[in-house]
A and B are shown apart, each in its own frame.
Chain A
Amino acid sequence: MINILLNILKKEFTLVLKDIHALLVLFIMPMAFILVMSLALPDTEAENDKDKPKIGLIFKQEKDSQLSASDELTKLPGFHTQKFTNKNNVREKIINDQLIAMIVVPENFIQLLQKNETIENNMEVFYSPSTPSQLRFLLMASIRQVVALWQLEKKLNEKASNSFMQQGLKDKFLGVSLVSEHEVSVAEEKVEAKQPSSVQQSVPAWLIFSMFFVVIPLSTTFIVEKQHGTLQRLKTLPIADGYFLFGKIIPYIMINLIQTILMFLVGIYLVPAAGGQALQLSDNAWLLIPMSMSISLLAISLAMLIAVRVNTTDQATTIGGVTNLLLAAVGGVMVPTYVMPEAMKNISGYSPMNWGLEGFLTVLLREGSFADIMPEMMKLLSLSAICLFFAVTSYKHLLRD
């Protein structure tokens, strides 16, 4: 029995592998979309970063800027820091109000500080005359914290035996565990949903879009089987209908899973390599599999329904393609729902692609649990069952007539 199923799976895979157009649509198209859209979509975090007060940072010795400790200065909280090499350029930008201040790090400053040696030249901060005093105070506080951190690290390196102990002592000295941050929540007030970054939006969105394109290889194979009498021939073989049904479903679930893995890898490795933000997965990443399978079942059922109901591959490609484009346009794939007006957001909730996208974002963005993605999964599986029922009924009708 397993051999028969494996034989059917092998045939389906061979046919898909020989279909260059299907491979392009299933794998290359979403990869390209993810790359382009991850880089093209404005990142919320990056946008916020641009709104921060800008300061220029100059290391008098290039070697200092390469020390890992210098990262603390380049990531000063509350400020957008840009590195410069020419002091005059920075001065010009300050005069033109493009920067609010300039930090000049003297030669060997960090190294001397870490070695506890005498420092002859201080770190200097130059302000624009228009920089408000609150900002000057905030900047100085941030810089002092960084300098304190460097000194602390020096002491810890001498005293603590391992990095775990060092971190613990660092937290204790800096009072990390003594202060915790909270937001005031107002029960009656609707809390605005967290927005995905461009890569968090692009990877699941274009993955779902491409998953629905199984309609092309599936319908092409099915219509060829129908037109060539292969379907009739298969039906005269002494094997149960279930083999053919699973023979269609299983290979495309596997193809959809391969797409899922590949697209997430693109988000994790390829997008950052191209200059974008890397996709981060947390401990609940395994939930992407049941979510992906639910989307896959709906995509396959819908593809089967289209394949059974139409007569030519042209019809299948047109109907399948247009259906996918509409579902994607409405469902927040092409235009993220968070930029849609309220009315469109409501409509988008009717698109199965939106159910899938929301499920993925629940996992990626909101660190949701299995219970959190259940509503989306149930919607996808219910519609899948309806499509499959009509596909099987139409298929039986087709063979009889």
Chain B
Amino acid sequence: MISVRNLHFAYSDNRVIFNDFNLEIKVGSLFGLIGPNGAGKSTLISLVTGLNSAQAGSIQINGKDLSLARNELLSNLSSVPQEYAFYPKLTVMQNLNFFCRLYKSINQPEQNIEDAIELTGLADYQNRAAGKLSGGLKRRLNLAIGLLNKPTLLILDEPTVGIDPQSRHFILSAIKQLNNDGTTILYTSHYMEEIERLCDTIAVIDHGKIMMSGELGNLLSNASSFQIQTQRPVAMNEIDACSFSDRININKTKLEGELDNAMQLNELIAQLQQFGHRIEEVEYGKKSLESMYFDLTERAVRE
């Protein structure tokens, strides 16, 4: 669906954001793009939506180069920005009408508007001024505008920022439904639980580079890690009896590594106790996305 190859982009003040950047997003996927502020997420979105042009490299959507077939490709994609990108003084319906009628490709604007209203649950608010809607309803209107052209690729930039749990649940359900109906979605968010709940594929980017990418299920299942803290240092020969000892790292009183199952953890603890070690702390289980994210991007607060 989206193929970004050898991308190079720098702003006019010579800040280089991407240098030889590559990314693939498959058709029908719900792709989570995560990274700290300043990582390059918004710039990548601006490049994919044609708002900015790369100095080198290519962006292909459905096999067509964005720089060569911009208008054709933009007719089938839609971007929902983080801000409330509509006119607060116009009503919900006036906003939807305005944005819908900017597409030459839409033959039945009334039908598309009706579908967008239905999916986002805005039927009761059509005549209300957009600026007077609650935060949750504004987010829904923002999303509805993005659905007017029935895009095959939908780009959502933090669509649930600052809203109540009910509205968030509503929006996430709508996004899931769109994806089930075949829309490819590029989703960015700082809420890791949202990414875990929604996305099938993710990429973690930082400083314009991909730190990790792949199917979310695989990334998380490969991360059944453990950590044991003992009172006194452990010697390597003390755990030789365990068949999986080659997967364990020992750093004085701290043992860590990845295990196949909990039985192996029990075996290891029994072995350590046999040598008179007192176990002070044990951590075991799948790593959360958040934990992986922090490992990759460091915990220091960004601008």
Chain A interface (Cβ < 8 Å from any Cβ of B): 1, 3-4, 7-8, 10-11, 14-15, 18-19, 224-225, 227-230, 232-239, 397, 399-401
Contact = CB atoms under 8 A, between A and B. Distances in A.
A18 B129 CA distance: 11
8 contacts: A1-B104, A8-B102, A227-B83, A229-B84, A236-B49, A238-B71, A238-B103, A401-B12
A250 to B, nearest CB: 16
B267 interface: no
Interface in B89-111: 89-90, 94, 97-99, 101-105
Contacts of B294: none
B50 to A, nearest CB: 6
Q: Which 4 interchain pairs have the tightest Cβ spacing?
A: A229-B83, A238-B74, A238-B71, A233-B85
Given A4-B102, A236-B50, A238-B104, A15 B89 contact: yes
Interface string B141-164: 000010000000000000000000
Contacts of B87: 11, 15, 224-225, 230
A199 B104 CA distance: 49
B11 A230 contact: no
B232 interface: no
Contacts of B284: none
B19 interface: no
A378 B115 CA distance: 51
A228 B105 contact: no
B257 interface: no
Given A232-B51, A238-B70, A401-B11, A3 B101 contact: yes
From B12, B46, B87, B102, name the one whose CB has the most chain A CB atoms within 10 angstroms.
Answer: B102
Contacts of B85: 228-230, 232-233
A138 B99 CA distance: 76
A165 to B, nearest CB: 63
Interface residues of B, number: 36
Interface of B: 11-13, 46, 49-52, 70-72, 74-75, 77-79, 81-90, 94, 97-99, 101-105, 145
Contacts of A228: 83-86, 88
A237 B90 contact: no
Contacts of A227: 83
A3 B98 CA distance: 11
A136 B49 CA distance: 89
Nearest to A227: B83
From A224, A225, A229, name the one whose CB has the most chain B CB atoms within 10 angstroms.
Answer: A229
A14 B52 CA distance: 30
Given A15-B89, A228-B86, A232-B85, A397 B12 contact: yes
B53 to A, nearest CB: 9
B90 A229 contact: no
A143 B281 CA distance: 124
A15 B90 contact: yes
A132 B275 CA distance: 141
Given A229-B84, A236-B74, A238-B70, A4 B89 contact: no
B71 to A, nearest CB: 4
B82 A229 contact: yes
Given A4-B102, A7-B102, A19 B82 contact: no
